Amino acid sequence: MNNALKFYIDGAWVEPSGTARLPVVDPCTEEAFAEVAMGTPADVDRAVAAAKRAFASFSMTTPAERLALIRRILDAFLARHDEMGDIISREIGAPKAMAHAWQAGIGRRHLEELIRTCETFEWQRMKGTTLVNHEPVGVVALITPWNWPINQIVCKAAPAIAAGCTMVLKPSEVSPLNAVLFAEILDAAGVPAGVFNLVHGDGPTVGAALAAHPDVDMVSFTGSTRAGIEVAKLAAPTVKRVHQELGGKSANILLDDVDFEAAVTAGVNSCFGNSGQSCNAPTRMLVPEARHDEAVEIARRAAEAHRVGPADDAATTMGPVVSDVQFERVQRLIAIGIGEGARVVAGGLGRPQGLERGYYVRPTVFADVKPSMTIARDEIFGPVLAIMPYRDEDEAVAIANDSPFGLAAYVQSGDSERARRVGFRLRAGSVYLNYPSWDAGAPFGGYKQSGNGREYGEWGLEAFLEVKALVGFGR
């Protein structure tokens, strides 16, 4: 990929101001297969200046013109869809089938949903004699993570473009190459110069410079709660809008009337999807006390059915975690779980047998987990499930809500009305009832320390809009 050592600024691929480079490592082999240039505050200044210049004209385009542009972006994305899947599989170790169907596929689905949203969105409306007008917020900084990289890039950049904003993207330096491809897609679609700009770099350098920049009007950040707090602090002096999608520790409540074989198995597989590296993964499985041992045995079988291996092996159901840093974090938290008295019923410390190289983690299930344990409270971001018993429905809800996080929650019941009733009691931004299909139009975001604001569909579009009242317009 020739453009990995350049930045996309003002409609052109340009040389970085510095000379620093960072290897891009294949987590399946622990070997570098590419390099990416690392930016400086000077590169940020250049990119923000380009976005600021472009905003003057792009913000005046019509919603219809921007909708036509989003349609061209979708066409350009589809033309390179398979390439996108291959790149993400190599960068983060996702099995190829999953990387194509979901990692790349979710980008397509966000674009399709945004088109439907823009076709019906009410950009202006009268309220009495006042005209309420939606206008772009301005220059936005987009800071995105490595775990679902093109998902988070598309669900930020595309609605920002549809809103009439201009932007600078800092993707994760761990998985940066899909962002390079996305910039090439936008260029091919005819996005005007300066509307979209790409600068690679780390959080303390490029991310911090963007968050604090006086000419940035908004930061949209997805990542850890710790990093989100730092972004908010840096943004505060300029009172810019800060949109955050942060960590999670989602509870999965299995009520006593559910089909346990199906519900536990699906819960394990959902927790272990993407090697457990999803902020909304159902990592806390809450089961009736009387059926705890039954659930544990089902979960053990489901975990041991997973085939851990390289991304390009068709038999692989779970690839590695993304990096040595992530591998060591997961191992440390598994050790803490053992030390605090939780019972390992599947997996545990170390790599799976026969996989001596690569950041592979054994699919791990803990039983007899107490709500106070570290593995029940900290986001692990790996294939680790904590099974927790509860006495009754009220206690299940109390345990689920006893968390600093509130991104997602799950409820399984044979009675849909009962599942809905429990769902209303849960303090989470998304509650998934009986494992529904993924909905690109459902608002996504969290309560508490899981963030502020919502993404996807109309909520993702509104995140990048200001509301102006023209009072007396209709007199």
Report, as residue numbers or ranges, the catalytic residues: 245, 279
**Six-digit token string for 428:** 């989470």
Cα of 74 vs its chain's centroid, Å? 20
Closest CA to 76 of 176, 236, 190, 172: 190
In angstroms, the CA 84 to CA 103 distance is 8
What DSSP state is assigned to residue 32? Answer: E
8 Å CB contact between 28 and 320: yes
In angstroms, the CA 386 to CA 397 distance is 16
**Six-digit token string for 164:** 């009439």
Which phi and psi angles does 211 have, rounded to 5°? -65, -35
Q: How many CA atoms lie within 13 A of 40 on its CB side?
A: 8
Closest CA to 444 of 167, 135, 220: 220
Task: Report which secondary-structure segment, H or E, holds 177.
Answer: helix 177-189
In angstroms, the CA 336 to CA 343 distance is 11
Amino acid residing at 76: A
